[in-house]
Structure 1
Amino acid sequence: MSTRDLSRADLHTLAAAAGVMVDWVDASDQPRQVSEQSLHAVLTALELPAATATQREDSLRRCKAQAIEPAPLLTVQVAALLPVSVAPDASGRWVDDSGASEQARADAQGQVRAPQRFGYWTLQIGGLTQQVAVAPQRCFSVADACGLPAPRAWGMALQVYSARSIDDGGIGDASGTVEWVRHAALAGADALALSPVHASRPVTSGYSPYSPSDRRFLDPLHAAPVRVLGELALDAINEVPGLRERFDTLHHSALIDWPASAQAKWQLLRHLYTRVAADHADLVAFRSEGGAALEGFARFAAQDFGDGDPQLHVFTQWLAARSWSDAQREAHERGMKIGLIADLAVGFDPNGAEAAAAADTVLRGLVLGAPPDAFNADGQHWGIGAYSPTALRRSGYAPYIALLRAVLRDRGGIRIDHILGLLRLWVVPEGASSNEGAYLAYPLHDLLNLLALESWRHRAIVIGEDLGVVPPGIREELSRRGVMGIDVLMFTRDDNGAFVSPTLWRPDAVATTTTHDLPTLTGWREGRDIDWRRKLELIKPAQASDDVTARSKDLARLDAAVEHAGLSAANDPLLGALRFTATSVSPLALLPVEDALALEEQPNLPGTVEVHPNWRRRLPDPLPHARLSTALQGFAEARRVAAVSEPHP
């Protein structure tokens, strides 16, 4: 073997030890291998230099040492054997986080079995003290929420910023969301899935809910002051000179002007801050409960927004938190079994508050993206940060646990964007092209255990966005752990391109007609996505022509499938498609608001920034109530009929 071959072999050995995947399979099911140059760059960013044989040996030695370091927190499932060994027949105590305890005993081989009750425990036995997260076998489910063995629940999916309500200043908020809670609940829905409402950095130009400053905290731009402060908030809008006029103008715009609306809403928030006493009892309690994490976030935000007053940001977090807890309360009062479903972004702004708060556990010199595929030859460069898998383990997963608790608070469920991030993430060295990245492995077993545990502690369902390329066996493992996937109508085809009957869709996935990154059903039927890509020169004219031809065939296939299922609606193919989706065997079906209203344009067009109005479209004013009523009634009725007609064991 040549010196170069030895060097390459050593490099690959080091990469494997560091969790960097040398070999991977692309979207076309073709094997790919990360270049040596990319491996060097990624390993260097992970502080594992590999330029020389000595460096590779030293870096490999460090990886091996890290792998055998005692873990501050072990995760196991209930009644499972722990990966520890003590003296045979040793006895001790299990102590949970409430102080309650029970006996611990090692078997004849010195192995210890976890308690039957899930929770966070401390094991004290034979001189060993070990923190252990004991997880249930699966996440809290729709069946658990509904109290039914085979539920056929349904709900809606809302882009929060798009909703309209009086005095929203041009950006949808919790008040506008509550209006959709009412629409959905009245029709019998049990859930309303939301776009992310994470805390953002100051809005100076574009905006994306998937590039937050801090996922642990909320965006005050979506707070609903009137729902928390009542008349005080109404009066405040009129007290600030010119604010009423600006609020009215921004409210009626078809597209959100994020900088202008953010400026107006922050002007209101700052004025309200001066009107609410610092010793307001609930605000004081909120500040105390938030502790060091809230104070740290507030200090960062005060500097980031340039106002220098951390207590302002404590106040706005209180306002946002109480707005959303009030919305969830109303959802339950109106009969929703699940209520609001939060959306958890896959990462965060590398220069934002979350990165600053967890500086010791954040990847440095690497950002997230996606590898090349048929739609993006150069891959995707998301420019967002993530946690280091090694540092997460070393921290006892503290940032991850805190994140789950924050996002699940006052929610009935969570949708995790890019659920494969619990297994691997495509990391790209800063300044490099996306195709120069590599997959970095994450501790799926531990992360799923903690997710299941927090899911039950909050009684919240879990949805994992699993679209795209998924390694073999992963969907099965997610299903086993109670993480529902997502089945999207336009992707549920057989090998010949025909649409599969919804009775054959996955029984462990959420059914939906579309997502925020895909065309609406109306837009898909009219080819709006093709029009946009042709207009923006994302595809060539010849490709656009081929896509139009293919789309025509797809429409015929869908209409045929709907007719075969006996769900066609006279002169209303959209309604037929909604009914078709609603008959899925999924425990939960979600109807996006855009499809309920038969809107043409999609919320986001991936691969674009300023040339398409991403995250800016507001819902029509006034709403087409007749269309909405028809869609909700049709979806709900098809869901009920499917539940009744389905044979049960």
Structure 2
Amino acid sequence: MSSDDKLRQLAQECGIHLGYDAWDGSHQATSPPTLKALLRALNVEVDTEKAIGEELRARCSRRTARTLPVEQVILAEEPFEFALTKPCEWHVLDDQGHEMQAGRSDTSLTLKPLPVGYFTLVTRGSGPCEEVFLLSRPAHAPTIADLTGLQQAWGVSGSVFALQSRTNGGLGNYADLGQAMSRIGQSGATYFGINPVHALGWAAHDTISPYSPSHRGFLNVDHIASDTQFETGTIGELIDYKAFRRQHRPALEADYERFCQNATTADRSKLQAFCKAEGLELTRFATFESTSETHGSDFRNWPSQLRKPEETAPKPRDGFHAWLQWKASNQVEAAQLCAVQSRMALGLYLDLAVGARPGGAEVWMHQDLIARGVSIGAPPDQLSPAGQSWTLAAYAPNKLSENRYEPLRTLLRKLMAQAGIIRIDHVLGLMRSFWVPEDGSPGAYVSQPFEALLAVVAIEASYNRCCVVGEDLGLVPVGFRERLKASGLYSYAVWQFEGTSDGALRSVQDLHPFTMACFGTHDTPTIRGFWRGRDIESWRSIGWLSSDEAIGLHGARAIQRNSLRQHSSIPPSATLDDVCHAIHRELGKSPAELVTVQLDDLLGSEQAQNLPGTIDEHPNWRRPTSKDVETFACVQSLNKTSNSMGSKRNPSAVLEEKEIDPCL
């Protein structure tokens, strides 16, 4: 066997794809430099031919030596049988180490039905002791019908940062979120979806994208409603994050000082209980934040003795950063309470970003589980011929499995406890991820433990009674969407992407029922922007399109508009307001169980919140809403949209309230 053959075999053993079919129909083989870069990312030694051979032999030997799998997904409340090659004694432990079952078996081992959760099967026989991690998953994640009694529902999507009020100082906060959901809930909406509110990092002064977090398991403190009133000056057409933070940060400091001096015994007990429940994760996150104040937001630039959490001593400021997370958590829970009290059956619909920044807190805290020297990205396509690197860290699937998916379990549990729905951005990453090496080698796909990850999502959703939507846009493997739906994850359909071979848009009446349907997202033009081709003009203005190319795209857009006119019965004389209402009405009549309308469409916006692929060329994440949250109840388009959704989508049942501690 040649050295390249051994390299390819080792790569396959580690889940690295030897090639993929590109968007233009060509097959792209994974080059040896890429294979080596991705193997190094998985902490596999490949510097010499001898090392490659030894690693290959060792992996094959470990795999063939086992009589049982390392992990096994089973269906909760159903028996499960393992075939045995030799007799053994065995017992099953729950996640806390308590024995659930035990026995002795000869040729087969039959487990009695287990509840939803995580367990360990331990066997002892003539050979080495073996452990099998058991993921006992429900038949499917909770559905809308399971949680609300509704067969169909609708909701609104927006962004916390964009919300405007008379008191927030220019950037939306969690109190505004509560007001917005209360008013939107009164209109009959079942949920309010927001972009991620993950922690961006106290020292990440220039970071504003919600999809570039420091840690996805903690909250963005920019959105804490301060008890200290402050002004950032006149609010302009765009949000000024730096000006806001210059006023908001001292206000939070003042709030903390008052808490330290005047907090009641009950309040101090609540904070202590929060810190105890959050445990080591919060302790280390707070230490990261404190350390970043001195050494910057990217831990890779810190002194060497501070680059590992177990070697970094706590700081005096840790208490402040832990308090910030408690404050933020209280306010998010209070916002969810506002939603439930307004008869918004599901309330918060939260977004889980693809990954965290390579130099942020999440990676610092879980370095041993992170793939080294690579970023999550996407292969070349017609919009990005060079491919994309999203500058987001990837978990190494082998390390994640060895640690029984603990970081993902913790992250999902926290997110789902706060929401009625979560959306997993780029859900294809549960099956395979496109890794881009930092050494300049072309990227390639790496398989993920798909069945185990689906099981983790379903288990955590079941624990927290939370619906899950998988953002499955783009080219996906055959059968992928069917597997998601079978597990209870809703598909995600954006109407302006639902094209036909002749360039038109297909009818939303053709959508699969187990779907969340919408016209657009934060990355696409609003309905008004789509109708007028604002996105095309944005591309032309920054030099992405020539005039001739723009003219061609405007022609293609005309075909799409005509199909929308036909599907939605839009007359030639229709105003843009009429167009928006007609499209929302047609979405409401679709078979999709969930329909989401954008707040920007309800408020008459033309520009999208984000233009993918740009940083400074477009005012991404800086557009405020055109109306204050206090006036949402008077927005005619909201009430009109509610009426057009019909009785099937307006809630007749309310989700049982969770115990929520309102914000102090």
Q: What is the TM-score normalised by the length of structure 2? A: 0.86
1:355 pairs with 363, 385, 402, which one? Answer: 363
1:47 aligns with 2:48: no
Give 2:220's aligned amino acid: D
- Residue 328 of structure 2 corresponds to which residue in structure 1? 320
Is 2:199 aligned against 1:199? yes
| Equivalence map 1:188-587=2 (5 Å) | 188-201=188-201, 202-225=203-226, 233=227, 236-237=228-229, 244-246=230-232, 249=233, 252-277=235-260, 280-306=268-294, 309-432=317-440, 436-563=442-569, 572-587=578-593
Given that residues 423 and 441 in structure 1 are in contact (C-alpha distance below 8 angstroms), is that contact kept between their aligned partners in structure 2?
A: yes
Q: Distance in 2 between matches of 1:255 and 1:570?
A: 24
For 1:269, the aligned partner's letter is: L
SS in 2 for 1:20: coil
Shift of 1:400: 1.3
Change (3 A) 1:592 1:67: farther
| Distance in 2 (alpha carbons) for counterparts of 1:110 and 1:376 | 53
Q: Which residue of 1 aligns with 2:299?
A: none
Q: Show the counterpart of 1:8.
A: 4
Q: Is the aligned partner of 1:599 residue 2:600? A: no
1:57 and 2:49 matched: no
| Deviation of 1:556 (Å) | 1.2
User: Helix, strand or coil for the counterpart of 2:7?
Assistant: helix
Distance 1:424 1:124, change over 3 A: closer
**Partners of 1:183 and 1:85 in 2: how far apart?**
60
Match of 2:179 in 1: 179
2:18 matches 1:22: yes
Normalization by structure 1: what TM-score? 0.88
Residues 181, 77 of structure 1: alpha-carbon distance in 2 compared, 3 angstrom cutoff: same
Aligned to 1:161: 161
Give 1:358 deviation, angstroms.
0.9
Aligned sequence identity (%): 31
Q: Distance in 1 between matches of 2:450 and 2:557?
A: 38
What's the counterpart of residue 132 of structure 1? 134
**1:489/1:66 Cα in 2 relative to 1: closer, same or farther (>3 Å)?**
farther
Name the CA distance, whole Å, in 2 between partners of 1:387 and 1:548: 41
Does the CA-based 8 Å contact 1:596-1:628 persist in structure 2?
no
CA displacement at 1:8 relative to structure 2: 3.3
Quick check: 1:77–1:136 contact (8 Å CA) kept in 2? yes
Q: Structure 1 22/123 Cα, relative in aligned 2: closer, same or farther at 3 Å?
A: closer
Match of 2:109, SS state, is coil
**What is the SS of the residue equivalent to 1:319?**
helix
CA distance in structure 2 between the partners assigned to 1:321 and 1:156 by the alignment: 22
Q: Aligned AA for 2:370?
A: V
Cα distance in 2 for partners of 1:130, 1:562 equals 54
Q: In the superposition, relative to structure 1, how do residues 418 and 583 fare at CA in structure 2: closer, same or farther (>3 Å)?
A: same
Per the TM alignment, residue 628 of structure 1 is displaced from its structure 2 partner at its CA by 7.2
Q: CA deviation at 1:374?
A: 0.5
Are the structure 2 counterparts of residues 489 and 628 from structure 1 closer, same or farther at C-alpha, using a change threshold of 3 Å?
A: farther
Count of aligned pairs between the two proteins:
617
* Alignment check: 8 A CA contact 2:528 2:576 kept: no
Cα distance per residue 1:594-643 (max 9 Å; x no partner): 11112101011011001111111111145796997443234333322676
* Stretch moving more, 410-419 or 499-508: 499-508
For residues 75 and 567 of structure 2, the distance between their equivalents in structure 1, rounded to whole angstroms, comes to 43
In the alignment, the residues of structure 2 paired with residue 72 and residue 296 of structure 1 have an alpha-carbon distance, to the nearest angstrom, of 30
Partner of 1:160, secondary structure, is coil
Quote the offset at 1:157 in angstroms: 0.7
Distance change (3 Å), C-alpha of 1:83 and 1:603? farther
Equivalent residue for 1:240? none
Aligned-pair distance for 1:46?
Answer: 2.8
User: In 2, distance between residues paired with 1:365 and 1:513?
Assistant: 37
Q: Secondary structure at the match of 1:396?
A: coil
Q: Distance in 2 between matches of 1:176 and 1:462?
A: 25
Which digits, 9 at most, give the CA deviation of each residue in 1:496-521, with x for residues without a partner? 33333322211111011101111111
Matched residues in 1 for 2:448 and 2:585: separation? 39
Q: What amino acid is aligned across from residue 16 of structure 1 in structure 2?
A: Q
Q: Determine the C-alpha separation between the residues in 1 that align with 2:209 and 2:112.
A: 43
* SS of the residue 1:294 aligns to: helix
Q: Bigger relative contact order, structure 1 or 2, given CA contacts below 8 A and separation 6+?
A: 2
**Matched letter for residue 595 of structure 2:** A
Structure 1 counterpart of 2:300 = none
**Aligned partner of 2:146 among 120, 140, 144:** 144
CA contact (8 A) 2:165 2:629 kept: no
Per-residue CA deviation, residues 365-395 of structure 1 (Å, 9 max, x unaligned), is 1111111001000011111102110101111
Measure, in 2, the Cα distance between the counterparts of 1:131 and 1:488.
38
| Structure 1 residues not aligned, in runs of 5+ | 226-232, 238-243, 645-649
Match for 2:33 among 27, 34, 37?
A: 37
Letter matched to residue 398 of structure 1: E
Q: Deviations over 1:274-332 (max 9, x none)?
A: 11037622112111211111111100111113395110100100000000011111211
CA distance in 1, matches of 2:81, 2:176: 48
* Whole-angstrom CA distance in 2 between matches of 1:544 and 1:312: 52
Unaligned 5+ segments in structure 2 are: 295-314, 651-664
User: Does the 8 A contact of 2:183 with 2:632 survive in 1?
Assistant: no
In the alignment, the residues of structure 2 paired with residue 632 and residue 595 of structure 1 have an alpha-carbon distance, to the nearest angstrom, of: 10
Q: Is the 8 A contact 1:489 1:514 kept in 2?
A: yes
Partner residue, 1:81 = 80
Greater mean alpha carbon deviation, residues 70-79 or residues 578-587? 70-79
- Alpha-carbon distance change, 398 to 206 in structure 1, aligned in 2, over 3 angstroms: closer
Q: 1:164 to 1:80 in 2, by over 3 A?
A: farther
Whether 2:118 is the aligned partner of 1:117: answer no
Judged with a 3 Å threshold, the aligned counterparts in structure 2 of structure 1 residues 493 and 428 are, in CA distance, closer, same or farther, namely closer
Q: Which amino acid aligns with 2:57?
A: R
